Amino acid sequence: MTGAPSGPPASARLLLSCADRPGIVAAVSSFLEKQGANIFQSDQYSTDPEGGEFFMRVEFHLEGIDDNRDDFERGFADVAGSLGMSWRISYTAQRKRIAIMVSRYDHCLLDLLWRWRRGELDCDIPLVVSNWTDLQADVETFGVQYVHVPVDKDKKAEAEARHLGLFGERFDLIVLARYMQIMSGDFLQAVKTPVINIHHSFLPAFAGADPYARARERGVKLIGATAHYVSEELDAGPIIEQDVSRVTHRDSTETLVGIGRDIERSVLARAVKAHLEDRVIVFGNRTVVF
């Protein structure tokens, strides 16, 4: 999955889905042409041309769109309404805001911060929240605020209330960069923001705790990592990206953990990048990744 660079200013990404039928692409592209837009990337997918679900992502440049978003959206709402579409639009001028949650492992966190500083991730990262203090100095090096929210087993609800307070409605995405706490269903409902987690196995194998030890116990010849949207059921949400690495009988659980770090950080970075570029559409428990 090799992402295109972020579009020029005054550009936007339109994502939509509806029951498949003839004329959808024509309706969308004609509307965009009439507005004066220049489409520079367009992807579509249909689960089945006969009676299936249709998905589309269009990235386009339209001079002045950032001053006329309401007009544009009203206009498109008509098209969408006539075809029964679900849709959303995202403007590249409006950078997404990410909050990262982390416990004590630094590899996914640092990889995201390095990529962000280097310009690989088109977003703002103003906040890292942790149930530990270990990584505070590292995070502050990047000019990012680090907030320590301890999570006591019997006071989880309090911690989650603090999290909700910190996030408010200021974020577009929460990334769990090896955050070793399970989130309650109440929290996930309340937060109203997509949450991406990295799990250290190729799901659905080894969901839950200690996947590397269990991988060694089972004697697998590949280990992996999976980035997915968090849902109430543990490690069962829609998968965005996965990858694996070859291992042998020589690898102890400790060396598996080391090999796994490299997979985890690259899989999480690819998933976050795809989300930031509005390439991911969830449907049912699966994803379309354009």
Catalytic position from the list 235, 243, 251, 262: 235
Q: State both tokens at 131.
A: 């149930």
Known catalytic membership, residue 235: yes
Chain positions 111 to 150 lying near a copy of itself, rule: CB under 8 A, are 114, 118, 120, 141
Whether 157 and 184 have beta carbons less than 8 Å apart is answered as yes
19 is an interface residue for a copy of itself by CB under 8 A: no
Of 66 and 114, which has the nearer Cβ to a copy of itself?
114
Binding residue (CB under 8 A) for a copy of itself from 241, 264, 277, 278: 241
91 is an interface residue for a copy of itself by CB under 8 A: no
R_g (Cα) of the chain, nearest Å: 21
253 is an interface residue for a copy of itself by CB under 8 A: no
160 is an interface residue for a copy of itself by CB under 8 A: no
Strand partners, 239: 228
Alpha-carbon gap, residue 196 to 101, rounded angstroms: 10
Treating both helix axes as pointing N-terminal to C-terminal, what angle do 211-218 and 253-276 enclose, rounded to 10 degrees?
Answer: 120
Alpha-carbon gap, residue 203 to 224, rounded angstroms: 8
Binding residue (CB under 8 A) for a copy of itself from 130, 206, 268, 276: 206
Chain positions 259 to 288 lying near a copy of itself, rule: CB under 8 A, are 259, 262, 266, 285-288
Alpha-carbon gap, residue 87 to 64, rounded angstroms: 21
Chain positions 29 to 48 lying near a copy of itself, rule: CB under 8 A, are 29-30, 32-33, 36-46
231 is an interface residue for a copy of itself by CB under 8 A: no
- Give the count of beta carbons closer than 10 Å to the beta carbon of residue 179: 25
**Catalytic (active-site) positions:** 235
